[in-house]
């Protein structure tokens, strides 16, 4: 363990923190953050610092860091850029471990901001503490209850996935969507400009962190390519690493400079570097989460041979086109399984082949269990993908039928010992019917709890499975 590792570890797992710029006045940045952190419930000591306020939401306000009863592990600065330097000097003098600088207005603004950022870094080096940011949303850690700026409702269940992000918005989006899909986090870090601790440091940390089994990252650019690529190779050799790299177009390269003051690098060079390192390229919050679901429930490199099944001929026909487009295969059924399935699915409309059409979207329960069990175990394929085209509308999706379908799929997975994925379309944007949406969410949650991968559309399922196998050939 090097000193970077220990320093990052003590910051992420801080047992005490101070919010400088905390406020009780509505609409203020420091007020929003304090409410967020209070709602999340930080486990350690939380000190609120503001020389102009006496009490903040019923808690005492301290005039400065020196007045606190202890030196906090972590200081969270919610004050404007030009006011930060004095407080950073205090941090160094007192011996805090880390400081999160939320404010924008540094390197991304050009020469003047760059000088200010350099000054902050100098103070940190001299004071022996580390900076996260500036221009960031901070840290989410379910273990101690530290949270991102708009993250008051993030889960307190710790998990095994790390997400590091140069964008604050995407860090919250991934955390919140992930939570609702049963993906919990060892930590989420929004590090903005990365003036001090940057993508390379966090990647190295999470590669070694025993709590982290999966790493995902949103990157605009890197400070220093060579050490980053070395860290990427090392990390991807230890655990799956998903990289969402933006800045491939000329316009977005300029936007990257304005956003976090980074250099994006060419898309081609990045593509090659990711492939060489064994990292999984992804694009967008949805795709990052789809790949995490695929890795978790289907495994790393789960195989490319799919059995596509559904209640209707169009589903498989469309799915087979998409599979081929992603470099996946839809091979003929194993003769033994084909014979068994023909015996089970003796009904007009069923087509026993790959794709497999069970003949009706209204899942015929007595046939569903046995046919799914046989399909999941089919020897010529690696993964059963069932498209649950629940498009038969309100009132026709009974809880009982959904429950029985989930049981049958869970049993098929267990008995076959092979991965199962389900495509569960979001059914509608109906403003009146929330009951169906809730049923489907509970159904999704139940399937995920059974270790079944769930994707919201066939294109997203095919892409995620291809990426979990290492991307398109």
| Interface positions, 47-76, toward a second copy (CB under 8 A) | none
Based on the shown chain and the rule CB under 8 A, indicate whether residue 401 belongs to the binding site for a second copy. Answer: no
How many chain residues are in contact with a second copy, going by CB under 8 A?
96
Q: Any residues with CB less than 8 A from the CB of 385 and at least 6 apart, and which?
A: 306, 307, 308, 309, 319, 420, 421, 422, 423, 461, 465
Task: Figure out which of the listed residues 69, 366, 395, 400 binds a second copy, where binding follows CB under 8 A.
Answer: 395
Based on the shown chain and the rule CB under 8 A, indicate whether residue 363 belongs to the binding site for a second copy. Answer: no
Based on the shown chain and the rule CB under 8 A, indicate whether residue 259 belongs to the binding site for a second copy. Answer: yes
Task: Figure out which of the listed residues 458, 461, 464, 466 binds a second copy, where binding follows CB under 8 A.
Answer: 458
Q: State the minimum distance, in angstroms, from the CB of residue 2 to a second copy.
A: 30
Task: Figure out which of the listed residues 100, 188, 389, 464 binds a second copy, where binding follows CB under 8 A.
Answer: 389
User: Cα(212)–Cα(207) distance, rounded to whole angstroms?
Assistant: 7
Task: Figure out which of the listed residues 79, 307, 320, 422 binds a second copy, where binding follows CB under 8 A.
Answer: 320
User: Cα(315)–Cα(323) distance, rounded to whole angstroms?
Assistant: 12
Peptide bond just before 355 cis, omega within 30 deg:
yes
Task: Figure out which of the listed residues 311, 369, 377, 471 binds a second copy, where binding follows CB under 8 A.
Answer: 311
- The 408-447 contact track toward a second copy, x by CB under 8 A, reads -----------------xxxxxxx--x--xx--xx-xx--
Q: State the minimum distance, in angstroms, from the CB of residue 161 to a second copy.
A: 16
Give the footprint of a second copy on residues 118-147 (CB under 8 A).
Answer: 135
User: Cα(426)–Cα(457) distance, rounded to whole angstroms?
Assistant: 8
Give the footprint of a second copy on residues 195-224 (CB under 8 A).
Answer: 218, 220
Q: State the minimum distance, in angstroms, from the CB of residue 417 to a second copy.
A: 25
* Contact indicator for 402, 427 with CB cutoff of 8 Å: no
Q: Any residues with CB less than 8 A from the CB of 394 and at least 6 apart, and which?
A: 433, 435, 436
Q: Any residues with CB less than 8 A from the CB of 431 and at least 6 apart, and which?
A: none
Based on the shown chain and the rule CB under 8 A, indicate whether residue 180 belongs to the binding site for a second copy. Answer: yes
Task: Figure out which of the listed residues 117, 334, 357, 374 binds a second copy, where binding follows CB under 8 A.
Answer: 357
Name which of 144 and 354 has its Cβ closer to a second copy: 354
Per-residue tokens: 308? 């596509």
244: three-class secondary structure by DSSP:
strand
Q: Per DSSP, which regions of 179-312 are E strands? A: 185-190, 214-219, 241-245, 280-281, 306-310
User: Cα(71)–Cα(289) distance, rounded to whole angstroms?
Assistant: 38
Based on the shown chain and the rule CB under 8 A, indicate whether residue 455 belongs to the binding site for a second copy. Answer: no
Task: Figure out which of the listed residues 107, 173, 296, 304 binds a second copy, where binding follows CB under 8 A.
Answer: 173
What DSSP line would sit under 340-356, residue for residue? Answer: HHHHHT-STT-B-SSSE
- The 22-41 contact track toward a second copy, x by CB under 8 A, reads ----------x---------
Say how far residue 338 (Cα) sits from the centre of its chain: 39
Q: Which stretch binds a second copy (CB under 8 A): 10-18, 160-168, 371-379, 408-416?
A: 160-168
């Amino acid at each position: 363990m090097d000193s970077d590792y220990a320093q990052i570890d003590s910051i992420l797992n801080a047992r005490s923190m101070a919010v400088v710029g905390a406020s009780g006045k509505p609409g203020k940045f420091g007020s929003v953050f304090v409410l967020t952190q209070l709602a999340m419930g930080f486990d350690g000591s939380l000190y609120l610092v503001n020389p102009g306020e006496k009490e903040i939401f019923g808690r005492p306000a301290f005039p400065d860091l020196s007045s606190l009863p202890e030196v906090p592990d972590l200081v969270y600065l919610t004050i404007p850029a030009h006011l930060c330097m004095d407080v950073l000097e205090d941090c160094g003098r007192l011996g805090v471990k880390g400081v999160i600088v939320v404010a924008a207005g540094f390197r991304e603004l050009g020469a003047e901001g760059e000088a200010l950022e350099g000054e902050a870094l100098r103070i940190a080096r001299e004071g022996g503490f580390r900076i996260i940011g500036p221009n960031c949303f901070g840290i989410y850690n379910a273990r101690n209850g530290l949270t991102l700026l708009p993250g008051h409702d993030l889960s307190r269940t710790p998990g095994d996935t790390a997400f590091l992000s140069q964008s604050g918005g995407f860090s919250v989006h991934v955390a919140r969507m992930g939570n609702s899909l049963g993906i919990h986090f060892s930590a989420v870090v929004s590090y903005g400009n990365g003036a001090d601790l940057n993508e390379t440091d966090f990647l190295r940390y999470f590669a070694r962190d025993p709590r982290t089994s999966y790493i995902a990252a949103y990157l605009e650019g890197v400070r220093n390519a060579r050490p980053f690529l070395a860290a990427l190779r090392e990390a991807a050799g230890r655990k799956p690493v998903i990289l969402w790299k933006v800045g491939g177009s000329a316009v977005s390269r300029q936007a990257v400079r304005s956003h976090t003051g980074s250099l994006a690098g060419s898309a081609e060079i990045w593509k090659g570097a990711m492939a060489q390192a064994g990292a999984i390229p992804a694009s967008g919050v949805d795709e990052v989460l789809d790949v995490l679901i695929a890795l978790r429930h289907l495994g790393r490199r789960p195989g490319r041979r799919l059995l596509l099944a559904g209640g209707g001929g169009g589903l498989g026909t469309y799915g087979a086109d998409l599979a081929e487009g992603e470099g996946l295969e839809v091979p003929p059924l194993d003769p033994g399984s084909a014979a068994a399935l023909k015996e089970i699915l003796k009904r007009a409309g069923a087509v026993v082949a790959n794709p497999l059409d069970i003949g009706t979207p209204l899942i015929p329960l007595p046939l569903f269990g046995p046919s799914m069990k046989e399909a999941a175990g089919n020897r010529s394929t690696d993964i059963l993908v069932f498209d649950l085209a629940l498009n038969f509308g309100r009132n026709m999706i009974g809880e009982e039928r959904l429950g029985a379908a989930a049981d049958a799929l869970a049993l098929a997975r267990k008995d076959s010992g092979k991965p199962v994925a389900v495509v569960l379309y979001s059914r509608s944007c109906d403003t009146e019917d929330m009951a169906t949406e809730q049923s489907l969410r509970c159904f999704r949650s139940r399937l995920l709890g059974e270790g079944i991968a769930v994707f919201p559309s066939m294109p997203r399922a095919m892409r995620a499975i291809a990426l979990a196998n290492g991307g398109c050939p």
